[in-house]
Amino acid sequence: MRPSELLCVALMGWVVPSVCAQEPAPASVMHWEKGCRYPQAGWIVLHIEGNPYERGVQHGRLMAPEIAGYLRCFALTLNDKAPSENWRHIRTLVNALFLRKFDKEYLEEMKGIADGASAAGARFDGQAIDVVDIAALNCWSEIESLPAANAATPTGLEGITKRDAMPVRPMPAFERCSAFAATGPATADGKIIFGHITMYDLYAANFANVWIDVKPANGRRFVMSSFPGGIRD
């Protein structure tokens, strides 16, 4: 279930999609309240606006199938033999370690995403997707890096015994990504040049095609690359 291939993508001088970049075909646009989504050059462009919960509901309603698919991808990537059982452990981990560390605005947005996706029929293992599931999707990198982080963090037992009190098991090699950006005097014409090499399993790469155009009720409008259910790039 987990492809072994690696995806390598390099982008140079590429123009970020925007709801203002080109007029999408009317038939391709999906709407929910103030939000909308449409395809553009192989990407999903998602526009959301309002307060955090409103933005989240729009996100969840418009991206429900992709959110459910991405959650399943995460569960299978972590354990393709028992994804449902393992996901229950992941939910407990996220609930205990990460959920209460998010700022209120992020929690409200993730709750909106979960409510919107669930109302649109998004399910995993027969259960409606909730805020813990969405938080887990946004903590993917943290969850995968926990073993290395624990190994690098002192326990307080250092130097107490001659032997290492907390032996570290050999870690498998992790995938790596790399990126660069240049602008202003660093480029010939002053325009932005950026590149990115993404190296991870192709299954997860299928969901890395989302651009979110965010117009908050308070603050500046911005565009970011993301993933289904993501509040971060």
Amino acid making up residue 185 = P
* Dihedral sign of CA atoms 23, 26, 29, 34 in order: positive
C-alpha–C-alpha distance, residues 142 and 156, integer Å: 23
Instruction: Write the pLDDT tens digit of every residue in 22-47.
Output: 577 888 899 999 999 999 888 999 99
Does position 123 have pLDDT exceeding 80, yes or no? Answer: yes
Let me know the angle formed at the C-alpha of 209 by 204 and 213, rounded to the nearest 5 degrees. 135
Does position 179 have pLDDT exceeding 60, yes or no? Answer: yes
Instruction: Write the pLDDT tens digit of every residue in 58-105.
Output: 999 999 999 999 999 999 988 889 999 999 999 999 999 999 999 999
Q: Please list, in sequence order, all residues whose beta carbon lies within 8 angstroms of the beta carbon of residue 180, skipping any fewer than 6 positions away.
A: 194, 195
C-alpha–C-alpha distance, residues 202 and 213, integer Å: 25
Instruction: Write the pLDDT tens digit of every residue in 129-147.
Output: 999 999 999 999 899 888 8
For residue 13, give both structure tokens.
């001088």
C-alpha–C-alpha distance, residues 116 and 142, integer Å: 25
Question: What's the pLDDT at 193?
Answer: 86
Amino acid making up residue 187 = T
Domains, the chain, ordered by start: 26-226 (1.10.439)
CB 217 within 8 A of CB 199: no
**Coil, strand or helix at 16:** coil
**Coil, strand or helix at 124:** strand
CB 190 within 8 A of CB 184: yes
Q: For the CA atoms of the chain, what is the radius of gyration? A: 20
Classify 50 in phi/psi space as left (phi over 0), alpha (psi -120 to 50) or beta.
left
